[in-house]
Chains A and B, each alone.
Chain A
Amino acid sequence: MRTTKPLADIEAAQDVTKPSVTRSAADSKQMRKQAGTWLKQLRAAAGLSQIDLAAQLGLKYYTFVSQVENGFGRVPTESMANWAAALQVDPSSFARHLLSFYEPELYRLLFGSEK
């Protein structure tokens, strides 16, 4: 039976880098790579391979999981809940954390500088 783990437990063990104020294309790319690394850590903590995760997400090929973890793609907003469920984390915290990587200015507007 799966349980949803609070992200705080996972975040506490990780070095989470917060975005800088101004964002160039290179910054965005770097943030996506960091998001990918974080997602990879979550997947490892859940004991899933990329193929396992893709299966749970209902993807035909597992390659998009790799695209996201390598920082070249983003978790689509409409499937964030599914990703959170597959990775066994709280969906709200998961989405918020991804927002900090993908849209750091919006994250700062919504949540300030808090972690």
Chain B
Amino acid sequence: MSNVIAFRREERSAAWRRHELQQIVTSLGPVLRADPARAWDTGTTEIGDPQFYLLRQEPDESCDMCISRVGSVYVVEDGEGRVLFDGANLAALGEKAVAFLRKDRGQIIASLALAWIGLRHFVHDKVEALMAEGEDMLVHVAPQLAAFV
């Protein structure tokens, strides 16, 4: 017995309805505007359910997020097929999708910030050690110059 959620063919229409596409683009507007490298495209499944693909232009125009309508349910998946959200309220799913994408971006920024702090500490520790060594040597070799350090 199939465990896949699907609905009878006669309930389907192949294209996004205008208000649906408008809702999706409106919901994702902040994400699309914040990143000029973003784009989107649409497609359909084998049995005519519409799909919306949120794309990242670089490096390979891959899909970050896919929104599909399966019968009366909207499904939001990431680019690797993980179901992120599903439900009947497209506007609510749109908000969740934006929050998810922003969290993703935030995590990247946080990781970069941590890496930068780590690098600064590393450089600071190493440079301080080298400076101290140099200063030590100067004091022993040329005490007269040490006054200028």
Contacts and interface: CB of A to CB of B under 8 A. Distances in A.
Interface string B1-35: 01111100000000000000000000000000000
A86 interface: no
Given A50-B47, A61-B70, A76 B58 contact: no
B62 A51 contact: no
A49 B47 CA distance: 9
Contacts of B90: none
A37 interface: no
B46 A60 contact: no
A58 B2 CA distance: 9
A25 interface: yes
A59 interface: yes
A59 B4 contact: yes
Give the size category of A's interface with B. Answer: 20 to 34
B97 to A, nearest CB: 15
Interface stretch (B75-83, B98-106, B128-136): B75-83
B45 interface: yes
Contacts of A29: 60-62
A107 interface: no
Contacts of A41: none
A61 B59 contact: no
Interface of B: 2-6, 41, 43-47, 49, 51, 53, 55, 57-63, 66, 68, 70, 75, 77, 79-81, 83, 86
Listed from nearest, the 10 A-B pairs whose CB atoms lie closest are A28-B60, A64-B81, A66-B45, A72-B63, A63-B68, A29-B61, A55-B2, A70-B43, A50-B46, A72-B53
Interface of A: 25-26, 28-29, 32, 49-52, 54-55, 58-70, 72-74, 76
8 contacts: A28-B59, A60-B5, A63-B68, A63-B70, A66-B46, A67-B51, A69-B46, A73-B80
